[in-house]
Chains A and B, each alone.
Chain A
Amino acid sequence: MNNSQTVESKTTQPVCAQCGSRLDSTIGGESICTNCLLRSALDQDDSDPDKRSRSDQSIAGKDGASIEFGDYELLQEIGRGGQGVVYRARQKSLNRIVALKVIALGHWATEPHVKRFRREAEAAARLNHPGIVPIYEVGERDGACYFSMGLVEGGQLDAILESASRTDSSCGEREPMPTRSAVELIVKLARTVQYAHEHNILHRDIKPGNILLDQKGEPHLTDFGLARLVEAESTVTGTLEVLGTPSYMAPEQAAGNNA
Chain B
Amino acid sequence: MKATPGTLQEGGASFATTHWSVVAQSALTDVPEASKALEQLCEMYWPPIYSFIRRRGYAPADAQDLTQSFFAFLLRTKAYARADRQQGRFRSFLLASVKHFLSDNWDRDRAVKRGGDFEFLSLDQQAAEALYDAPSAGDSTAEHLFELRWAKTLTAGALNSLRQELQTEGKLKLFEQLKNFLTGGSVLPSYDDASAQTGLPRATVTVKTHVYRLRQRYREIVRREIARTVSAAHEIDEELRYLCDVLAEAA
Name A residues whose Cβ lies closer than 8 Å to a Cβ of B.
Answer: 3-8, 13-24, 26-28, 30-43, 46, 48-50, 57, 59-63
Contact = CB atoms under 8 A, between A and B. Distances in A.
Interface in B134-175: 135, 151-160
Main secondary structure of the interface of B (DSSP, over half): helix
A3 B190 contact: yes
B122 to A, nearest CB: 16
A165 to B, nearest CB: 18
B185 A31 contact: yes
A22 B155 contact: no
Contacts of A30: 183
B55 interface: no
Contact of A63 (B47, B181, B244): B181
A15 B186 contact: yes
Interface stretch (B12-20, B21-29, B79-87, B202-210): B202-210
B154 to A, nearest CB: 8
B218 A41 contact: yes
B188 A17 contact: yes
A17 B190 CA distance: 12
A14 to B, nearest CB: 4
A92 to B, nearest CB: 16
B235 interface: no
A49 B209 contact: yes
Nearest to B192: A60
B183 A41 contact: no
B251 A32 contact: no
A60 B181 CA distance: 14
Nearest to A13: B135
Contact of B184 (A8, A17, A50): A17
Contacts of A49: 205, 208-209, 212
Given A15-B186, A17-B187, A28-B159, 13 more contacts: A3-B190, A7-B186, A17-B184, A24-B152, A27-B153, A27-B156, A30-B183, A31-B186, A34-B247, A41-B218, A49-B208, A50-B205, A62-B189
9 contacts: A14-B185, A21-B251, A26-B131, A27-B47, A28-B156, A34-B156, A37-B155, A38-B244, A59-B204
Nearest to B127: A26
B251 A35 contact: yes
A36 B204 contact: no
Nearest to A59: B204
B187 A33 contact: no
Contacts of A63: 181, 188-189, 211
Nearest to A26: B130
B240 interface: yes
Given A31-B185, A32-B185, A62 B190 contact: yes
A74 to B, nearest CB: 13
B223 interface: yes
A32 B212 contact: no
B64 to A, nearest CB: 16
B241 to A, nearest CB: 7
Contact of A43 (B153, B190, B219, B250): B219
A42 B241 contact: yes
Contacts of A34: 151-152, 155-156, 247
B188 to A, nearest CB: 5
A6 B184 contact: no
A80 to B, nearest CB: 11
Contact of A39 (B190, B208, B244): B244
Nearest to B149: A26
Contacts of A21: 184, 247-248, 250-251
Contact of B186 (A6, A39, A41, A59): A6
B65 interface: no
